[in-house]
Structure 1
Amino acid sequence: MPEYKGMVQPQRATPDDMRKIHIEPVPDELKPEKAIEFLDQIRKKFRSFVMAMESCTKCGQCAENCHTYLGTRDPNNIPTNRAELIRKIYKRYFTLEGRWFGKLVGAEDISLDIIEQWYSYFYQCSQCRRCAHVCPFGIDTCEVTFIGRQLLHWLGITPKLHASVGAAMERVGNHTNLPKPGIVDTLEFMSEEIMDEFGVEVEFPVDKPDSDIMYIPSSADFLLNPYTLMGAGMYFTYIGANWTIPSTVTEAGNFGLLFDQYWTQRGNVMRLLNAAQELGIKKIVWGECGHGWRAAKMYIPSLADRPIRWPITHIHDEVADMIRKNELKLDPSKNYKPVTLHDPCNYVRACGLNDNMRVLMRASVSDFREMTPHGMDNFCCGGGSAILFDDPEMYQRRILLSKKKAEQVRATGVGKDGDGILCAPCSICKAQLYPMVEEHELGVEVKGLIDLVGKALVWK
Structure 2
Amino acid sequence: MPAVKGLSQPVRANEKELKSLHILPVPDDKKVEVALQHLDEMRKKYRSFVYAMESCVKCGACAENCHTYLGTRDPNNIPTNRADLIRKIYKRYFTPEGRYFGKLAGAEDLSLDVIEQWYSYFYQCNECRRCAVACPFGIDTCEVTFIGRQILTWLGLVPKLHAGGGIAMAKTGNHVGLLKPSIEDTLEFLAEECQEEFGVEVEFPVDKPDSDILYIPSSADFLVNPYTLMGAAMFFKYIGANYTIPSIVTEAGNFGYLFDQRATQRGNVNRLLEAAEELGVKKIVWGECGHGWRAAKMYIPTMADKPVRWPITHLHDETSYYVRTGQLKLDPSKNSQPVTLHDPCNYVRACGMAETLRTTMRACVADFREMTPNKHLNFCCGGGSAILFDDPEMYQLRIKFSQKKADQVRATGVDANGDGILCAPCSICKAQLYPMVEEHKLGVEVKGLIDLLGKALVWD
Common fold: TM-score over 0.5: yes
Residue number in structure 2 paired with 1:302: 302
Q: How far apart, in 1, do the equivalents of 2:378 and 2:458 lie?
A: 32
Residue number in structure 2 paired with 1:416: 416
Residue number in structure 2 paired with 1:331: 331
Q: How far apart, in 2, do the equivalents of 1:229 and 1:352 lie?
A: 24
Q: How far apart, in 2, do the equivalents of 1:202 and 1:331 lie?
A: 20
Residue number in structure 1 paired with 2:134: 134
- The answer to whether the 8 Å contact 2:12/2:159 transfers is yes
Residue number in structure 1 paired with 2:449: 449
- Three-state SS of the structure 2 residue aligned to 1:281 is coil
Residue number in structure 1 paired with 2:32: 32
In structure 2, what residue type is equivalent to 1:289?
C
Residue number in structure 1 paired with 2:381: 381
Of all paired residues, the percent bearing the same amino acid is 76
| Residues 17-416 of structure 1 mapped to structure 2, 5 A cutoff | 17-416=17-416
- The answer to whether the 8 Å contact 2:218/2:250 transfers is yes
Q: How far apart, in 1, do the equivalents of 2:269 and 2:56 lie?
A: 34
**Which string of whole-angstrom CA distances, capped at 9 and with x for unpartnered residues, describes residues 389-442 of structure 1?**
000000000010000000000010101011100000111100100010111111
In structure 1, what residue type is equivalent to 2:37?
E
Q: How far apart, in 2, do the equivalents of 1:332 and 1:458 lie?
A: 10
Q: How far apart, in 2, do the equivalents of 1:280 and 1:289 lie?
A: 24
Q: How far apart, in 1, do the equivalents of 2:242 and 2:112 lie?
A: 55
Q: How far apart, in 2, do the equivalents of 1:432 and 1:59 lie?
A: 31
Q: How far apart, in 1, do the equivalents of 2:356 and 2:30 lie?
A: 50
Q: How far apart, in 1, do the equivalents of 2:320 and 2:455 lie?
A: 16
Q: How far apart, in 2, do the equivalents of 1:164 and 1:135 lie?
A: 35
Q: How far apart, in 2, do the equivalents of 1:250 and 1:2 lie?
A: 37
- The answer to whether the 8 Å contact 2:248/2:271 transfers is yes
Q: How far apart, in 1, do the equivalents of 2:274 and 2:64 lie?
A: 44
Q: How far apart, in 2, do the equivalents of 1:221 and 1:430 lie?
A: 10
- Three-state SS of the structure 2 residue aligned to 1:284 is strand
| Higher mean displacement: 212-221 or 101-110 | 101-110
Query: In the TM superposition, what is the alpha-carbon distance from 1:3 to its structure 2 partner?
Result: 4.2
Query: In the TM superposition, what is the alpha-carbon distance from 1:209 to its structure 2 partner?
Result: 1.4
| Higher mean displacement: 259-268 or 125-134 | 259-268
RMSD: 0.8
In structure 1, what residue type is equivalent to 2:239?
I
Q: How far apart, in 1, do the equivalents of 2:210 and 2:132 lie?
A: 42
- Three-state SS of the structure 1 residue aligned to 2:39 is helix
- The answer to whether the 8 Å contact 2:232/2:454 transfers is yes
Q: How far apart, in 2, do the equivalents of 1:268 and 1:81 lie?
A: 35
Q: How far apart, in 2, do the equivalents of 1:271 and 1:82 lie?
A: 36
- Three-state SS of the structure 2 residue aligned to 1:368 is strand
Query: In the TM superposition, what is the alpha-carbon distance from 1:306 to its structure 2 partner?
Result: 2.1
Q: How far apart, in 2, do the equivalents of 1:29 and 1:420 lie?
A: 55
**Which string of whole-angstrom CA distances, capped at 9 and with x for unpartnered residues, describes residues 155-200 of structure 1?**
0000000000000000001011110000001000011001111111
In structure 1, what residue type is equivalent to 2:331?
D
Gaps of 5+ in 2: none
Q: How far apart, in 1, do the equivalents of 2:72 and 2:6 lie?
A: 13
In structure 1, what residue type is equivalent to 2:408?
Q
- The answer to whether the 8 Å contact 2:3/2:116 transfers is no
Gaps of 5+ in 1: none
**Which string of whole-angstrom CA distances, capped at 9 and with x for unpartnered residues, describes residues 113-154 of structure 1?**
000000000000000000001111111101111110000001
Query: In the TM superposition, what is the alpha-carbon distance from 1:327 to its structure 2 partner?
Result: 0.5
Query: In the TM superposition, what is the alpha-carbon distance from 1:5 to its structure 2 partner?
Result: 2.4
TM-score of the superposition, structure 1-length normalised?
Answer: 0.99
- Three-state SS of the structure 2 residue aligned to 1:205 is coil
Q: How far apart, in 2, do the equivalents of 1:278 and 1:26 lie?
A: 40
Q: How far apart, in 2, do the equivalents of 1:106 and 1:124 lie?
A: 23
Q: How far apart, in 2, do the equivalents of 1:135 and 1:277 lie?
A: 44
In structure 1, what residue type is equivalent to 2:223?
L
- Three-state SS of the structure 1 residue aligned to 2:254 is coil
In structure 2, what residue type is equivalent to 1:249?
V
Residue number in structure 1 paired with 2:432: 432
Q: How far apart, in 2, do the equivalents of 1:279 and 1:143 lie?
A: 37
Query: In the TM superposition, what is the alpha-carbon distance from 1:101 to its structure 2 partner?
Result: 1.1
Q: How many residues align?
A: 460
Q: How far apart, in 2, do the equivalents of 1:379 and 1:210 lie?
A: 42
In structure 2, what residue type is equivalent to 1:296?
A
**Which string of whole-angstrom CA distances, capped at 9 and with x for unpartnered residues, describes residues 226-281 of structure 1?**
00011000100110001000001100001111101011012221221122122111
Runs of 4+ aligned structure 1 residues displaced above 2 Å come to none
- The answer to whether the 8 Å contact 2:149/2:260 transfers is yes
